[in-house]
Structure 1
Amino acid sequence: MKRNNSIDVMRGLVMIIMALDHVRDLMHTTSLSQSPTDLTTTTPALFFTRWITYLCAPTFVFLAGTSAFLSMNAKHDLAATRRFLLLRGIWLVVVEFSVVNFGMWFDPHFDFLIAEVIAAIGVGFLILSLLLSLPPRTIGVIGGMIVALHPLVSLVPVPDNVLFKVLMSLFSPMAFPYATGKLFFVAYPPVPWLGIMLIGYSAGSFFTSTEKEQRRIFLRVGLLSLGLFTALRVANVYGDPVNWSPQKNLLYTFLSFVNVTKYPPSLQFCLLFLGLMFLILSGVQGVKNKWTDIVCVYGKTPLFYFLVHWYLIHPLVFVMVFLQGFHWSDLVFGSNFGRPKTGSGVELWAIYVIWVFIVLAMYPLCHWYGNYKERHKEQTWLRYI
């Protein structure tokens, strides 16, 4: 199957942006105590450092669905595609709760397990594999209904019942103690993210059109999506659990307006960030230059990048805390990334410097792995990383 260059560029771009959020999460002075989108304590620079990375997860999930469609369309083999999605889905769930969680926390006891985007994609693949016999348009309608209507689930009262909480964790973030002193947290409830994946699968047919037609379609869909977001946001009635409101000045009022809910992804969140994704796809469609070649190196090896970059960032956390005068006895694992409870971290400007270093360091690794994968197509296991 011939690769779609715009998908690789888009995916590579969000991989680069994603690393910024993870560096900030693990190393910023206030990341353990302050939400960067809390308008009562944040700064515009910190807010946008976090906000721009909201583009990443919906793009990952949407393009995962799109790639599944393109694979299905190229092979015309329902059974083979279903088998691949089932195996890849199981593999991603396993990877989330092993390699990713350890890279995130560096805690060999796994006192804090978290289900995030990799697990959400894995579960999405499992469910999508069961829906492949349906027409893509029908799958898209199902996805659209999930995205539009899942916020209604929050209106259902949650009784103090474990089974009901497990059911609700499919729709909303939920935490569960699973052993003495251990916690399992569903940060990315699978159903809302499944809706985005199903829409991405249905939209896969867009990527089979000519470059000119793709630019036109993506531009129109992007503008329509942003227009619907704006209309819903102005109305302040439906589509996000947190309404915007006038703030102390115009800039903070704008921040309130675009401060949409990611956990779980609200309808307005999806419209805003998928709209931005479509506009970027329209802009990069057919563009091929040195910049896109570099970005594609990351975009062709997304899971490899995702797994390895944790193991570049996290050792820097320990370098940071030891240089700041802390000792092994000060380190707190679990949900603290191994940092002391207070007093560690670097300022925002340093976060950007470290981020650039991580992205540059990942380039030769991704370049090597991409070439290795291309030269050894007979090794089918490489399809899973």
Structure 2
Amino acid sequence: MEATLPPIKQRIQSIDTLRGIIMIIMALDHVRDFYTNVPFDPLDLSKTTPWLFLTRWITHFCAPTFIFLSGTSAFLSHGKRATKNEAAGFLLKRGLWLLFLEFTIIEFGWLLDPGFHMLFAQVIWAIGCSMLFLALLIWLNLKPGTIAIVGLVLIFGHNSLDSIKASSFGHFQLLWLILHQQGFYQINSYESVFLLYPIVPWIGVMAAGYGFGTFFKWEPKARQALFVKIGLGCLALFLMLRIFNIYGDPFPWEQQHVWWKTILAVIKCQKYPPSLLYLLMTLGVSILALAGLEHVNNWLTRIFTVYGRVPFFYYVPHIYLVHISQVIIALSMGFTVKELIAAGNGNPGKWGFDLPVVYLVWIIIVVILYFPCRWFMKVKQRRKDWWLSYL
């Protein structure tokens, strides 16, 4: 007889609330990409300001938290399916669906290029691949604890592979770019792909999140206390490894000429692929946030929950809304289509605004999307059509 898991009948509001918060923060990063007048990397300590740095840095919590919670949600939904094959099959189909959307509808939203000359393997790609990996682990009938161990091995061990470069694989370098190194690959004279999100250790993050889901079978007060211990433990380990530059990030921090830049240097960890220290820092805070949100239910958390219950329905339209609004405003200010195409996703010429305007546009876009998200959330509450679980 195939293994089954007892169902958890009610949604966990703290998960939906935290997911909603990070979806809102995520939009800030994308609005900044399209609307800022800053011509350099906001994390460049030689040029940045505290406000600019933190505007970018706060969005680092989005991808790891979302992928981790996706694993947790997969565990919670597993109990609603009769067998492991059904659970694995759903993750397989959803993962393939996300990969298809990443390189079609989502790709077009980012670049507005009908020829699809450049493909970007970004966060949806990482989520899709992570679901395929998790589907395999579940199909192999591994227990949640074992799946969590697999995830933790990938998270803690992958930085030992940092010295291996794709160029050493010759004709097979694409494989290493997919797995562990951010980079560009020319497919043919017409198409190329940029692997922004190598899948290791993202697949481990989702697997660890799946094992973490078992704690939601505990009583709320007990799991809240446990989450505080786990979150603080992650942050303590991060500080120990980071301050002494022991292990866990390919770029050790260095003393800066001003104190605040030294602090920023410590918390500036590699995201592509996410280093162990990056994940300890971001997931440590997120797990503490889960503990803090355990018994919170007010008008603000209910707003966040709207976005958190329909994250994909929010994600795709927000890309189009941000990009198309940027094009319309740029054209109205006198920039030409040629200038916009030449600039790609960057800043066309002198295009762009200071951070206060970026924040204003971000708030407007989030507010606009609240109403369709609330409508779709209610649709999902009323109806149980199979296709709704893919949106």
**What SS is found at the alignment partner of 1:299?**
helix
Work out whether residues 117 and 191 of structure 2, in 8 Å CA contact, stay in contact via their aligned partners in 1: yes
Quickly say closer, same or farther: Cα 1:136–1:160, change in 2 above 3 A: closer
Determine whether 1:106 maps to 2:112: yes
Residue equivalent to 2:5: none
RMSD value over aligned CA atoms? Answer: 1.4
Residue equivalent to 2:278: 269
Work out whether residues 14 and 55 of structure 1, in 8 Å CA contact, stay in contact via their aligned partners in 2: yes
Determine whether 1:217 maps to 2:223: no
Work out whether residues 82 and 129 of structure 1, in 8 Å CA contact, stay in contact via their aligned partners in 2: yes
Residue equivalent to 1:242: 251
Work out whether residues 113 and 184 of structure 1, in 8 Å CA contact, stay in contact via their aligned partners in 2: yes
* Cα distance, 1:339 vs structure 2: 5.4
Cα distance per residue 1:209-267 (max 9 Å; x no partner): 11111211111100000000000001112100111111121111000010011010000
* Cα distance, 1:85 vs structure 2: 0.5
Distance 2:43 2:147 in 1: 34
Cα distance per residue 1:48-69 (max 9 Å; x no partner): 0000000000011101111111
Distance 2:68 2:160 in 1: 22
Q: How many residues align?
A: 380
**What SS is found at the alignment partner of 2:290?**
helix
Residue equivalent to 2:59: 53
Determine whether 1:332 maps to 2:341: yes
Deviation larger for 261-270 or 286-295 = 286-295
Distance 2:352 2:344 in 1: 12
After TM superposition, the structure 1 = structure 2 runs for residues 1-385 of structure 1, keeping only pairs within 5 Å, are 1-30=9-38, 33-132=39-138, 133-157=141-165, 158-159=167-168, 161-332=170-341, 336-337=344-345, 340=348, 342-377=349-384, 379-385=385-391
Distance 2:303 2:116 in 1: 36
Distance 1:86 1:181 in 2: 30
Work out whether residues 177 and 195 of structure 2, in 8 Å CA contact, stay in contact via their aligned partners in 1: no
Distance 2:325 2:366 in 1: 14
Work out whether residues 85 and 126 of structure 1, in 8 Å CA contact, stay in contact via their aligned partners in 2: yes
Work out whether residues 117 and 188 of structure 1, in 8 Å CA contact, stay in contact via their aligned partners in 2: yes
Deviation larger for 174-183 or 49-58 = 174-183
* Cα distance, 1:338 vs structure 2: 7.7
**What SS is found at the alignment partner of 2:79?**
helix
**What SS is found at the alignment partner of 1:231?**
helix
Quickly say closer, same or farther: Cα 1:165–1:153, change in 2 above 3 A: farther
| Stretches (4+) displaced over 3 A | none
* Cα distance, 1:104 vs structure 2: 1.1
TM-score for both structures, normalised by structure 2: 0.94
Where does the alignment leave 5 or more consecutive residues of structure 1 unmatched? none
* Cα distance, 1:320 vs structure 2: 2.5
Work out whether residues 239 and 266 of structure 1, in 8 Å CA contact, stay in contact via their aligned partners in 2: yes
In structure 1, give the amino acid aligned to 2:367. Answer: L
Residue equivalent to 2:6: none
Work out whether residues 249 and 276 of structure 2, in 8 Å CA contact, stay in contact via their aligned partners in 1: yes
In structure 1, give the amino acid aligned to 2:340. Answer: L
TM-score for both structures, normalised by structure 1: 0.96
**What SS is found at the alignment partner of 1:331?**
helix
Distance 1:182 1:41 in 2: 34
Distance 1:312 1:213 in 2: 42
Work out whether residues 214 and 285 of structure 1, in 8 Å CA contact, stay in contact via their aligned partners in 2: no
* Cα distance, 1:75 vs structure 2: 3.1
Where does the alignment leave 5 or more consecutive residues of structure 2 unmatched? 1-8
* Cα distance, 1:76 vs structure 2: 4.4
Distance 2:340 2:286 in 1: 39
